[in-house]
Amino acid sequence: MLVSNTISRLDTVWEKCWEILSENALYTLKRDIQLSELQVSDMELRNFALTEIDKILRNNGRTLMDFPPLPVSYGNSISNLHNLLILDQLNFDMKKGTGKTYIWRALTATLRATNHIVLTVESSGIASILLPGGRTAHSHFAILLLINEDSTCNIKQGSPIAEFIRKTKLIIWDEAVMMNKYYFEAVDKSLRDIQQLNNPNSLNNLFGRIVIVLLRDFRQILHVNPKGTRSDIVFAAHNSSYLWNCCKVFNLTQNIRLWSQSSSHNEDEVKEFADWLINVVEEKVNEPNDGEVEIEIPNKLLIIDFSDPIATIISCTCPSLQENYINVEYLKDRVILAPTLEIVEQVNQHIVSQLLSEER
């Protein structure tokens, strides 16, 4: 309609219709950067919509400047999009944590406080909520679900995600042990390609010279290889990749979560418990053994005197439950692990029976 000059009072039409015209622009933004939760200001949306209109006009030999008093888009919409991504990454909130998660939060906060970009990715969706700004590796790097040794990520050179990654200082990848090595190799090949605009020699540098911290614990579950043999699972692990020889390994040996809750009068008790936990997971209890042994749990960790085990463990774990069951902080600090769904049901039923009838 602009090209055919069939609209009058262009400024009035724009002010009344820009939100409708911008709806598709917001969808396009989220699709292009693969970030469905992206929040965009009205000013950015208006500018992006104007830019898209200007592109259509230029294909017909016209520009927005030919249609005063319509506003003209400022700058490059793609550059503005990059700024949104960067600002989103720099908008962090350093919260107190413990253990491994605390260290990664500290790393992230330190770099972001100096205006550096840190990508935090997880191997699973549930785990991604533990890291500040965390998303799954598949989402961040557009990794294919069906992957092999020749696969790369679905990131185009010059795309918003590629430009964003090019500005990245550090990538933190948690629960790396759960991923097939081909995922890391695909990211490696893609980052080398993306970084060529910054460094022509990046093809010869692992991950394009972007520092990547891989977090893993080989005591946890490895990559699931359907119907795979033991050798298949070991071959798929990331320490079987060509990347492993270039990794520097740091071991965390102190149980920060325990020590953060200790005091001067129970330091010996905390140390004893921490050492016992390490001996259990490293199969050093009741040595020598062949990897299969009965573990004797210290009496101080057991509830010995009881008649109803369900009621007793609930009362020990959640004292004063009726007074605090709507207290979020009270509930966050307590958990009961059950071996079967039947036990879960019994625990739930007993807890509900303790609540006031009008609040059930």
pLDDT digits 0-9 by tens, 287-322: 777 767 788 888 888 888 888 889 999 998 988 888
Cα-trace Rg, the chain: 28
Average pLDDT for 7-16: 78
Q: What's the angle, vertex CA 106, arms to CA 105 and CA 110, rounded to 5?
A: 120
283 and 326 co-located in one domain: no
CATH number of the domain to which 223 belongs: 3.40.50
Please say which residue of 204, 226, 246 terminates a domain. Answer: 246
Domain assignment present for residue 86? The answer is: no
Give first-to-last CA distance, the chain, whole Å. Answer: 61
Distance between CA atoms of residues 157 and 146, nearest Å: 22
Q: Are residues 281 and 215 in the same domain?
A: no
pLDDT digits (tens, 9 = 90+) for 172-194: 888 888 889 999 999 999 999 99
Is 129 a residue whose pLDDT tops 50? yes
Say if residue 129 is in the same domain as residue 223.
yes
Q: Is the pLDDT of residue 65 over 90?
A: no
What does the block give as tokens for 189? 């090949």
Q: Are residues 64 and 108 in the same domain?
A: no
Asked if residue 347 and residue 309 are part of one domain, the reply reads yes
State the residue range of the domain holding 277: 253-300
Same domain as 236, residue 208: yes
Give yes or no: residues 288 and 322 share one domain. no
Least confidently predicted of 26-40, 45-59, 82-96, 317-331: 82-96
CA 174 – CA 166 distance, rounded (Å):
21
pLDDT at position 97: 36
Domain count, the chain: 4
Task: For strands 211-214 and 135-136, give the pairing.
Answer: unpaired
The reported pLDDT for the residue numbered 91 is: 45
Cβ neighbour number for residue 199 with a 10 Å cutoff: 13
